[in-house]
Amino acid sequence: MTRTELMGAAALAALALAAGPAMAQDCERGALDARYCDADGDLLADTPDDEAELLDPETLIFAYTPVEDPAVYATAWSDFLDYLSEKTGKEVVFFPVQNNAAQIEAMRSGRLHIAGFNTGSNPLAVNCAGFKPFTIMASEDGSFGYEMEIITHPDSGISDVEGIRGNKMAFTAETSNSGFKAPSAILKADFDMVSGEDYEPVFSGKHDNSVLGVANGDYPAAAVANSVMQRMIERDVVPSDRIVSLYTSQTFPTTGYGTVYNLTPELQESIRDAFFSFEWDGTSLQEEFEKNGEAQFIPIDYKGYWDVIRKIDAANDVSYSCQ
């Protein structure tokens, strides 16, 4: 571990001791866990009115969705986190999480304050961890999003989606939209292929594992976020001629960034301001994410932007159970 990662681990351990259990509340909440309220109907947990329930930590913990090598992203986010520290007046630590479930649990238990959750994890983080997404990355013209691609390699013998039948199909994790939920629904609805019956599902854990697995011939096919795949190709992690695309989906919203619901209103506002006032030019964030054409943070409305994702979850009988 680097010094930054060790500091993050230490900070999380300390906060774990301080985080106590939340009590169920008698209020309107929709699909939210019993510890949260949603009086305004925006599908997000309300910030508590009771000051005793608010958090104003000296050290803010930030985590980026665990899609690729955490060391790469500790560097990529460094300039932004320095700016965030300047805007909030607090130390900000990057904590590398290894999987979606650990990231959600860290926020739910009060050990994670600011995060980027992947597309598919956003509804679970919102409903179970009190996550309040307010921004995503976009290009200069305000366009945003990514597509799910089903990919294979040139030596697989698979030339179309139908060729997956009877083969192994690599997914990332069950909480991932492009890595599991969307492709599962599409394969069933559009190609009459059911997981476990028409193909054998295997799980790689992360998008980069799936991309590398296909490129190296370990998996005959996989479903991935093409934004992750493109960054890997741009960094020469995988050669483009080792990837063959079989299917490309509609555009989905990308990683949603936000805070835990119970930071003080003033702190939440200063964090929002840092995202929207950050100048990308010449920064480590630009160097990494311009590979996808991303150049700014734009405001989002979770209720509207994630409607298609919630519908995919419903088609897959996904429950936002917090147990």
Mean pLDDT of the 94-118 span:
93
Share the mean pLDDT of the chain: 90
Strand partners, 132: 259
Q: At what angle do helices 122-129 and 100-108 cross, to 10 degrees?
A: 30
Is it true that 3-142+254-315 and 146-252 share their CATH fold? Answer: yes
pLDDT band of residue 247 (cuts 50, 70, 90) is: very high
| Distance between CA atoms of residues 111 and 103, nearest Å | 9
pLDDT tens by residue, 151-172 = 999 999 999 999 999 999 999 9
Cα separation, 47 vs 138, whole angstroms = 27
Q: Which fold has domain 146-252?
A: D-Maltodextrin-Binding Protein; domain 2 (3.40.190)
- C-alpha closest to that of 106 among 62, 165, 46: 62
User: Across the beta sheet with 200-203, what order do the strands follow?
Assistant: 200-203, 168-171, 221-225, 146-152, 244-252
Q: Where exactly are the structural domains of the chain?
A: 3-142+254-315, 146-252
Examine the pLDDT at 16 and tell me if it is beyond 50.
no
Q: Is residue 234 over pLDDT 70?
A: yes
Is the dihedral angle over the CA atoms 73, 79, 83, 88 positive or is it negative? positive
Lowest mean pLDDT, pick from 21-35, 54-68, 196-210? 21-35
Residue 17: pLDDT above 80?
A: no
Lowest mean pLDDT across 67-71, 129-133, 301-305: 67-71
Higher pLDDT, 151 or 313: 151
Which residues, including other chains, have CB under 8 Å from residue 31's CB and lie 6 or more apart? Answer: 43, 127, 320
Of the candidates 178, 145, 164, which has an alpha carbon nearest to the alpha carbon of residue 244?
164
Q: What is the pLDDT of residues 279-305, one digit of tens each?
A: 999 999 999 999 889 999 999 999 999
Predicted TM-score (pTM) of this structure:
0.77
What is the C-alpha separation between 212 and 216, in angstroms, rounded? 6
Select the CATH number that applies to the domain covering 3-142+254-315 from these four: 3.40.190.10, 1.10.287.70, 3.10.105.10, 3.30.70.260: 3.40.190.10
Residue-level pLDDT at 11: 46
286 in Cβ contact with 91 (< 8 Å): no
pLDDT confidence bin for 13, thresholds 50/70/90? very low
Give the C-alpha separation, 323 to 317, whole Å: 16
Neighbouring C-alpha atoms within 13 Å toward the C-beta of 160: 2
